[in-house]
Structure 1
Amino acid sequence: MVRKFTDEPVAEASLQRILRNALKGPSAGFSQGQGFLVLTGEELAKFWEFGASWAPETVTTAPVAIVPLSVKNAYLDRYAKPDKGFAEGDDSWWRVPYWDVDTGMAALLILQTAVDEDLGAVFFGLAPESVERLHSEFGVPQDHDPIGVVALGHGAEAGPSPGSSATKIARREFEDVIRFGRW
């Protein structure tokens, strides 16, 4: 994760590849319940006025922000089709909200493709009080729920930011996290 960016713009070809890869993520029932708001220029400046309240200030130097949006209704509609057979609009049987899981996987594809493109990126949360403003200021449909924000650009730092969690907390050991066959 990169938290400070240069002012070098992101090549359009790189941005297009990143966004196309985001569309290749898994999707329960092939519901495809994601949307992506891509912000640059004046729209991005307007977004940073309220959207970076939970992010380090240096993140606002990124020339691109991508807001992955989860669309629960796409999943409920898909699973009400005859080949799935669940009651229309019923989410009670979903133990896990796959609309959010699948959108998170799409965000991870954005992050991974950014690395492939020699770019830096960071995923951060959007403050709850910013969600309605995102909807109103950028015309985002009400049923599109932001799961976070990916700031994207050319990294201005090598390695973790000084003072970040990555410099203070050791990564958990493989043996502490992974079990084969039985916990």
Structure 2
Amino acid sequence: MRMEFRDVVRRRRMVRRYTSEPVAPAAVEAMLRHAVRAPSAGFTQGWSFLVLDVPDDVARFWAVTSPRARGDGGGSSAWLDGMRTAPVVIVVLASEEAYLDRYAQRDKGWTDRARDRWSAPYWHVDAGMAALLILQTAVDEGLGACFFGVPPSRVDALREEFGIPSAWAPTGAITVGHPDPDAAPTGSVTRRARRPMGDVVHRGRWGA
């Protein structure tokens, strides 16, 4: 029985520790099918997804993105120890080149590939929308997930380890698994309340 959409939105949260139960391949496929339905500027679809669902591949991901060596920015922490329990990691990648090429085509009216024409890096905006659909689908599949960034200092190591072409940059990565019901909340998020609608919604004029 699938959830109502409003329940998917309400229940979505970042899950940072998982059980050892494997994730069904069909659930991963559902996440990816929904991800590619995300909107994209110029229908560029300049995203790709590196799916790591074999234990050795997941271990390789953590080894290159968060090594346990001291002073390397990885180390060990409650957050990392929990995240490393995820049986699936999906790396969400975006191609700036794909967007620059797309908007240099005749139907878009631009005659060059200038990056300064863009009000925001829509390659990452669109990849982020695809990532949100993965997060929401995880909830709908009875799973938990967490979106997080890849440290800039570790991107080259990630590329080399998994053969990612230089034209693709990680927008972030998503851990997926069955939430650990006994896990204690971690991180500063446990001390923060959701902002009231009146603080974030402005009608007609800022502050109105």
- TM-score (norm: length of structure 1): 0.94
Between the aligned partners of 1:137 and 1:126, the Cα distance in structure 2 is: 14
Paired position in structure 2 for 1:66: 90
Between the aligned partners of 2:112 and 2:21, the Cα distance in structure 1 is: 48
Structure 1 unmatched runs, 5+: none
Between the aligned partners of 2:116 and 2:109, the Cα distance in structure 1 is: 14
Paired position in structure 2 for 1:15: 28
Between the aligned partners of 1:130 and 1:35, the Cα distance in structure 2 is: 19
Between the aligned partners of 1:25 and 1:47, the Cα distance in structure 2 is: 26
Paired position in structure 2 for 1:132: 156
Q: Which amino acid aligns with 1:172?
A: R
Q: 2:147 aligns with which of 123, 139, 145?
A: 123
Q: Which amino acid aligns with 1:99?
A: W
Identity between Structure 1 and Structure 2 (%): 50
The 5-angstrom pairing of residues 90-169 of structure 1 reads 90-157=114-181, 161-169=184-192
Between Structure 1 and Structure 2, how many residues are aligned?
182
Q: Which amino acid aligns with 1:65?
A: V
Change (3 A) 1:59 1:142: same
Q: Larger deviation: 42-51 or 62-71?
A: 42-51
Q: 2:65 aligns with which of 51, 65, 88?
A: 51
Change (3 A) 1:59 1:170: same
Instruction: Please tell me whether the aligned partners of residues 100 and 115 of structure 2 are also in contact (alpha carbons under 8 angstroms).
Output: yes
Paired position in structure 2 for 1:81: 105
- TM-score (norm: length of structure 2): 0.83
1:163 Cα offset (Å): 4.1
Q: Which amino acid aligns with 1:50?
A: V
Between the aligned partners of 1:70 and 1:56, the Cα distance in structure 2 is: 24
Q: Which amino acid aligns with 2:57?
A: E
Structure 2 unmatched runs, 5+: 1-13, 67-73
1:176 Cα offset (Å): 0.8
Q: Which amino acid aligns with 1:153?
A: G
Between the aligned partners of 1:176 and 1:85, the Cα distance in structure 2 is: 39
Helix, strand or coil for the counterpart of 2:129?
helix
1:161 Cα offset (Å): 4.2
1:39 Cα offset (Å): 0.7
Task: String of CA shifts for 1:114-168, please: whole Å, max 9, x gaps.
Answer: 011110000111111110011111011101000111000100037x843432321
Between the aligned partners of 1:36 and 1:162, the Cα distance in structure 2 is: 28
Q: Larger deviation: 119-128 or 81-90?
A: 81-90
